[in-house]
Structure 1
Amino acid sequence: MSENLSLKTFVVLMKSAKSVQEQIKTDISSYGMRTSDFEILEVLYHKGKLTVREVSEAVLINTGSITYVIDKLESKGLLERSNCKDDRRVVYIQITNQGKQLMDEIFPKHQQVIEDMFSDITTEEKRVVIDVLKRVGLKADNE
């Protein structure tokens, strides 16, 4: 029987993704945070003020669950809400100075963990992986 490279690629991708996720989860927990907390702070840290919907789409957390996480982060003083002046249904979220200081301290360490995971891969290989995974994702979205 011939080797099914699509199936093998899928299995390797899923195992690799699981290993990477576990490493990231371990790193984030070393800062006393949950992954969902870190993801929300990270997107606000890099993108600035966003709506709840934009944050939800960026971090892949559904809007029902995200409210709970935002409430916790707001109670810790790490982010704040503000209402949209033009549309009362829209709520903006932004990182506070305290949240920014926290991310200034921990994000470079987190980024180094990611750099270390990819240290054996050349720049060109990274570009190829990005391209291939984007195409696979687009194909899956369109099926």
Structure 2
Amino acid sequence: MRIYSYNNDGELLPEEIDTINRLMNIPLDSLNLEAIAVVTNIYRVAQGLRNKMEQKVLSEYGLSWTAFSMLYDMWIGDSVETKKLAELAGVSKATISNITKTLEQKELCYRKNDPRDRRVTYVALTPKGKQVMEALYPKFHQNEVEIVSSLTIDEQKRMTTSLRKVIRDNDF
């Protein structure tokens, strides 16, 4: 059985139709198509956003999404513990260590140990790293605005509220 559904705003995305049609052949007690659509679309937006930003903005600076994320967190929070950087970026401490080495080679950041506990390492921006972020962020933000430009401010606010709820309820 093939399903061709429409939502309130028009035809579903072709990928959503394909997903629904595939899942209708699987015997499930209760199929929550809305949950599938939300999670799938969040994933697609996240991947698309990451790819677009890497190609349009970050490539000019030779940065990956995770490297930018680290620089951004250091820019906002001054020095940040490597464990916290890993949590914020959703990667392992080993990944943070490898990216930190690359960023150190580019003279964008440096490591420092906690004087009270040598096992704890912080990473901070160098003056060059601060300059890069001050030049990079306006371009990054311009693309953020472009990405959501088809949404009204009220739609953006509602989406933000909903996403924050998902983040809080799942400890993301």
Q: Is TM more than 0.5 here? A: yes
Number of aligned residue pairs: give it.
142
Are 1:12 and 2:11 an aligned pair? no
Report the residue type matching 2:61 in the other structure. Answer: Y
Normalising by structure 2, we get a TM-score of: 0.73
Would the alpha carbon gap of residues 101 and 5 (structure 1) be closer, same or farther in structure 2, given more than 3 Å must change?
same
- Identify the structure with bigger relative contact order (alpha carbons < 8 Å, sequence gap 6+): 1
The structure with more helix, counted as a fraction of residues: 1
1:46 deviation in Å? Answer: 1.3
Q: Structure 2: give runs of 5+ residues left out of the alignment.
A: 6-32
Whether the aligned pair in 2 keeps the contact of 1:29 and 1:35 (CA below 8 Å) is no
Q: Structure 1: give runs of 5+ residues left out of the alignment.
A: none
Are 1:23 and 2:52 an aligned pair? yes
Query: Which structure would you say has the larger Rg?
Result: 2
1:131 deviation in Å? Answer: 1.7
Aligned mates of 1:13, 1:75 — CA distance in 2? 34
Would the alpha carbon gap of residues 32 and 132 (structure 1) be closer, same or farther in structure 2, given more than 3 Å must change?
same
Deviation larger for 11-20 or 57-66: 11-20
Match of 2:90 in 1: 60
Please list, as runs of the form range in 1=range in 2, the aligned pairs for 1:1-143 lying within 5 A after superposition: 4-27=33-56, 28-140=58-170
User: Secondary structure of the residue that 2:117 maps to in structure 1?
Assistant: coil
RMSD between aligned residues: 2.3
Normalising by structure 1, we get a TM-score of: 0.86
Match of 2:19 in 1: none
